[in-house]
Structure 1
Amino acid sequence: MHPLRWSLQAVLLGSLCACGGDPASPVIPPEDPPLSQQMDPVLADQIEAVRQAVLADRCFREQPDVSVCNWGDFAYNPSQFAMSQNTGEAILVIDDFPTLPPRAIRYKNRIKGYFRVNGQGQVGAVPFSWRAPVTLFQGLSTFATPDFHPAEQLRALREPLASTYGFYDAGNNAGHGSYVLSLLVEANPHQPLVLLDTLSFHNFALEDFCDASGSQASQDRLWAKASTVASQLSGLMSAQGVRFVNLSAGMTLEAVRQEWTTFCSGPRPDDNVLRGKLNAYRPIYDVLFHTPGVFAAQAALSASSAQDNPFDFPSADFPNRLLVGYFTSLNSGLGADGRGPYSQIAGWPERANVDIYVNTGVLPYRPFDYNRTPLLQVDGFGVDIQPITRATTSWVAPLALSRFINARYSHFNGIPMSDALIPLVMRRMLPALCDDLPGRSCMYQDPLLYGQVEAVRLNYRPREYVAP
């Protein structure tokens, strides 16, 4: 973060924020037990009714050929969006969403829209229907209500659903976007969600992308198409009230090579031509990472050079973005502000590619031991949460985004999101208290250890994970 920019923002917002005290104070335990450990009698009756209906769905439980069982087609309808606790500041999740996964059924009231860029570069709503077991869909829809129910409240359904419809979970919940969704939806219970399928030239500019000539005219057409998509994306973000972006992906020279090999024909052009195509993504990245009042978390990667990875280094061109790396420790020893024995922590990727490292709390090898505050994901039907089993930057970008959202509402609730506010929230995440780190920024953070996510702050779940 540029020091001059920080000082200017502090002047602009100094009169609005309560900036004293610990810059990254942990959550104070509430007097009441978290909602996940409470059970309303009406909810208990609903859970039992769904459980009995699932156990009575004998065809799916007993027939080897489930195609003869009771299936239905159920349309996703954005008009069903309804949240009683809604900040009005949506998360845009840009990822691999060829369909809406089954885990989205339980949260369909949280999804404001599902979008894709078409071949003309226009962003449009995706018509979609789930083909699902009728009892499963109806049962999960029981809990897709304006009032948020933490997944742990529904744990009594986990085993019946798994034993009856486990094949549906395994066959349809796989996918990068589905996994990212599983990390965001429970951690941020008051945020609407907007889902956008992957942004790649082969989806909306295939002919110009596959032009191997390297001519200026070809490059200009590709840039123009990217600019059209960027304009459409800006309009989408404004219309949907997007204030946060999760991008658990990136675009590199190697990715462009693979994109060419997969979708184009003929000899692959040399890298100079492909670098031109890579750089044509810039208008899109400018919108994602420099739209006023919108913060973005992006998965970091081990970038070789700015020439081959123009979007994968911390950059003043993208002031509203943090590149996210990770470390895996059962006992980091870090304080709530990130001070502590960080010199002993091995983060991935290299520091040059990262703005913030966050701890998963889960070891990256079998049996995937975890500490009391591991990174959690919701299961395939939204009826329980569990620790992750594999650490990647794709999975920790949602954690960093969740931490930003937590800092935004913990310290600046009521102040509109703006380019002036974003660096102040970043400074809460990354206090300038670590003298021997770049910019004195305490870039090694263990937010889950201190309950620095909204699900904990709002008392939907306890800070420490409670296993089934």
Structure 2
Amino acid sequence: MTRATFGDLMSSLRTILTLVAMCVGCGQAGAPPLEEPCEPDADFVATLQRQRARALEDTCFRDAEDTSGCAWVAHEYDPAELAPEMGSSDEAILLVDSLPRLTTAMFRYRARLRGYHRVGPDGTIAPAAHTWRLPAALHETLESLRRPYSVPAAWLEPVADALYESYGSILLDDVGHGGFVFATLAEPTSRHPIVLLDGLDFTDFAPELFCAPASDTTVTARLEARTRVVAASLRALIRTSGVRYVSYSAGWSLPVMRTTWDAFCSGEPPSDAVMRERLATFAPIAEVLFATEGVIAAHAGDASENSLDFPFDQRSDVYPNRVRVGFFTALDSGLDALGRGASSELEAWPGPTSADVWLNSGVLRERPFPFNDTPLETIDGFGTSVAPVTSTTTSWITPLALARLIHLRESAHAGAPFDDALVRALLDELTPAACGPGGDERCRFQDPLRHRQIEAARAACAPARRG
């Protein structure tokens, strides 16, 4: 199950509905820059102005109580629209989350979508279908802004407010955990294809077994057999899709089993002992997510109180290719590029045994959510501007860990084979042994945004500081 509360989702929705974007500046870092324009050319700017006027002229969706009479376009998702030239890397990111539909923002980024998949009730993972239903003028606008390279969302800010004024109401259908995770993932990993997988929940692939009464003593064995089918199908998806990075902002524990039972099942719930037996059957899936050779996983941390009730949230040699991600929020962390500084003064979540690294969002958690000049950002609901998040959670910060890992890969290990030796190196460099009194302890507090240590910073153009 996902690791952000309904309140977190609604806070992020408020961000999407009130975004104000900053422009993109130019700079160099890391590996040699890609041959992409550093700013929009005159033709692109003119297109923005035309499409802004076009959107403002379309009053039907603002004024009509019933929009069925307005001009709509149906656009079916087609993996063939993937454009390899959009990125410099063939190393895909697998986003595993609650993704019952593809959001409006994903329409703009669809040239980077290598696939959209869903696990079925028999445990097999198969391509999922989706059709975007968009206002015709919005569809025209987003199509006109496509280029044979990744267009930064901040370039599109001149048209963003017009799109919100005319079409903001359609975004209410996009509320969902996976959509918000995608919104923090898309921009800082702009040169990598993305594979979407809608959930890996017991209620997706084994609802009848998950909700079976405790009196059925065959359930655990049958559930384990089903999870092995899921694991095999997941492993095949990773291999055939060229996945090298996994973003997983969910998890299963005894408390999650309990809340899921209450939400989906009826009758007398099983005892804790029976629930733990059923929970343990998730192990084959966790092994694929966190221990597949040559694949590195960023996992949203949770407050895991003990190994009995939180078996998949513990630091473990069984899952060597995973980093558990936590966060802290500071306007000025005081940390240098290695993570050295007064980290003991920083308030982090979750606790010291529940994460391997804590990253700074740069956005305080209390209203009015003040932020520094390099905050964690999210795209708006159309993918046409960026703004600081208003709620920091491990779910929203986990994509930043991937962006940092990709930065390490591209800046220090470009061209190296993506095997477990590289995974070990990337995890070691994520938290270098340079802290503590002797300078040999892991620097587990990091501020990659402050030091521009994200994948986008290796390109010719990188996000400018706010201020």
Between the aligned partners of 2:389 and 2:36, the Cα distance in structure 1 is 22
Q: Is the 8 A contact 1:114 1:125 kept in 2?
A: yes
Question: Post-superposition shift, 1:231?
Answer: 0.2
Q: Which runs of 5+ in 2 are unaligned?
A: 1-26
Distance apart, 1:462 and its partner CA: 3.0
- What is the deviation of 1:31? 12
Q: Deviations over 1:63-107 (max 9, x none)?
A: 343232112221111100003123100000001101001111110
For the residues of structure 2 that align with 1:283 and 1:144, how far apart are their CA atoms? 41
Within a 5 Å distance, the mapping from 1:211-230 to structure 2 comes to: 211-213=212-214, 217-230=218-231
Once residues 193 and 31 of structure 1 are traced to their aligned partners in structure 2, the CA distance between those partners, rounded to angstroms, is 23
C-alpha displacement of 1:35: 7.2
Q: Is the 8 A contact 2:32 2:458 kept in 1?
A: no
Closer, same or farther in 2 for the Cα pair 1:36/1:367, shift >3 Å?
farther
CA offset digits 1:300-329 (Å, max 9, x no partner): 011111000001111111100000010000
Correspondence 1:443 to 2:458: no
Deviation of 1:56 after TM superposition, in Å, equals 2.1
Identity of aligned residues (%): 38
Residue 48 of structure 2 aligns to a residue in which SS? Answer: helix
What are the residue-to-residue correspondences of 1:5-404 with 2, within 5 Å?
Answer: 28=29, 38-84=39-85, 85-169=87-171, 171-213=172-214, 217-404=218-405
C-alpha distance in 2, partners of 1:71/1:389? 32
Any conservation in 1 of the 2:28–2:460 contact (CA below 8 Å)?
no
* Inter-partner Cα distance in structure 2 for 1:87 and 1:55: 37
CA spacing shift, 1:240–1:293, aligned 2, 3 Å: same
Task: Please give the per-residue CA displacement for 1:312-355, whole angstroms capped at 9, x wherever unaligned.
Answer: 11111110000001000000100000011111111111111110
Matched residues in 2 for 1:326 and 1:82: separation? 34
Between the aligned partners of 1:215 and 1:434, the Cα distance in structure 2 is 53
SS of structure 2 residue aligned to 1:88 = coil
Give the alignment's TM-score, normalised by structure 1.
0.90
Secondary structure (helix, strand or coil) at the match of 1:73 reads strand
Number of aligned positions between the proteins:
440
In 1, the alpha carbon distance for the partners of 2:28 and 2:76 equals 40
Deviation at 1:247? 0.5
Matched to 1:157, the amino acid is: V
- Match of 2:348, SS state, is coil
Q: How far off its partner does 1:380 sit?
A: 0.8
* Cα distance in structure 1, aligned partners of 2:37 and 2:447: 23
Question: In structure 2, do the counterparts of structure 1 residues 187 and 239 end up closer, same or farther at CA, with 3 Å as the change threshold?
Answer: same
Instruction: Give 2:335's aligned amino acid.
Output: L
Q: TM-score, normalised by structure 2?
A: 0.90
C-alpha distance in 2 between matches for 1:404 and 1:106: 25
Q: Which runs of 4+ in 1 moved over 6 A?
A: 29-32, 34-37
Q: Is the 8 A contact 1:109 1:144 kept in 2?
A: no
Residues 373 and 466 of structure 2 are in contact (CA less than 8 Å); yes or no, is this contact kept in structure 1? yes
Query: Which whole-Å deviations, capped at 9, do the CAs of 1:345-379 have from their partners, x for residues lacking one?
Result: 11111111110000000010111110011001111
Give the 3 Å change call, closer, same or farther, for CA 438–226 of structure 1 in structure 2: farther
- Distance apart, 1:437 and its partner CA: 10
Q: In structure 1, what is the Cα distance between the partners aligned to 2:452 and 2:436?
A: 25
SS of the counterpart of 1:233? helix
1:435-454, Cα deviation, whole Å (9 max, x unpaired)? 36998110000000000111
Q: CA 1:214–1:200 in structure 2 vs 1: closer, same or farther (change >3 Å)?
A: farther
100-109 vs 138-147, which deviates more?
138-147
Deviation at 1:207, TM superposition (A): 1.7
| Mapped contact 2:227–2:284 kept (Cα < 8 A) | yes
Q: Tell whether the 8 Å contact from 1:247 to 1:296 is kept in structure 2 after alignment.
A: yes
Q: CA deviation at 1:36?
A: 8.5
